[in-house]
Structure 1
């Protein structure tokens, strides 16, 4: 069975949705709420495709947090949780016709640290692991104790001393612009794949996919704008990892090329 471990936290989301393609100084929006957030959606789509799914998470001290955990465990997810004495993380999500913006409160659940006692031996057998953490010392411990997992940095970028232990990096254009440390996308892709990262993929705002591997690189319009919101991004990630069960990255990524170009 295919297996994956995901690091993430649950969230109480307040979602504002507008039909405009961009944010305006004044406009109407529809409001909805959602408990669980992106982490719950990501876990669910892997469970739905029969992946053995593990979740390493920090929980709030409220009923909503425990409900999120219970619902995923009932669906078959292995949840390893560390509880903090704070409420469930609160996020405000603004969705336009083309993009999604997520604002998270700073006084919510913190990132993992090396002092967090997590059963890392329980996930050392997983095929893939998704990391969104930015605590370098904690990440070093994870990579060292689960060296056979193919680790993918999602939403974030590994420090240079970790690159040899990283399988892939997935960013959108905005994330790359924040994390690039002054390097162009082309130079960054060349540098990290020459060091040992198998691939880097950037989902561009205009719907293009830019990819870099240690064998090839390219840019093409995709079948969908996978970088426009978190739901599409998660679906892209699932489809990519499914394809990588049978194909090399250079072949798998081209399956997302728009049929208009084939």
Structure 2
């Protein structure tokens, strides 16, 4: 792996000297790695957050945006495999579009690189995507207004409006490429976290993530809108921290990779 590969693909807002957990986060459609700044601050000192930086935005704005989901997932999994520390369990967390991206990255990482857990926020599971009407480019502004509290400021900006709308549209197009495969697809625990004020994704939809794991499934709710990570970072940190510690104690050593190593 090129020495700059990890730094270009993942932003680490608070590097830890000796972390016990690594939480790899994937933002919503059009979202940036900086969306997870507050969550990184709220996490305990033993948890290091990595936020995915996709091509075509912010520090990588000169690169063309991804148009192939399989290629994007392959690139991210290659970087994570190369950078993984066997002594530091890695969990994945994704919000909205990022939840589906995180799930596909986790599916490709296993079983060669065990994943401690997958946390999905405000995201429909893959098999429900086919029942959701495709959003046209003209409908993207309305979608932003429904899901992002800061969208009006962006839409009013002559400088940023088109840039952000194009990023969101590109990510939504990638959703059409999410594969619907035989379930369950993951060995790791899956934790669904829903916002009770989310106008787009209901708890009944989120609960169907249970079909995707052979392991533990949990369902949590927060009094939050669609974008939970920024609106309720402290509460989300508490939930995720408790879940990861429980997963480490109950599920991690039962993973086939660890059982093989112990023989």
- Would you say same fold, with TM above 0.5? no
Greater fraction helix? 2
Greater relative CO (CA pairs within 8 A, separation 6+): 2
TM-score (norm 1): 0.44
TM-score (norm 2): 0.44
Greater fraction strand? 1
Higher-Rg member (1/2): 1
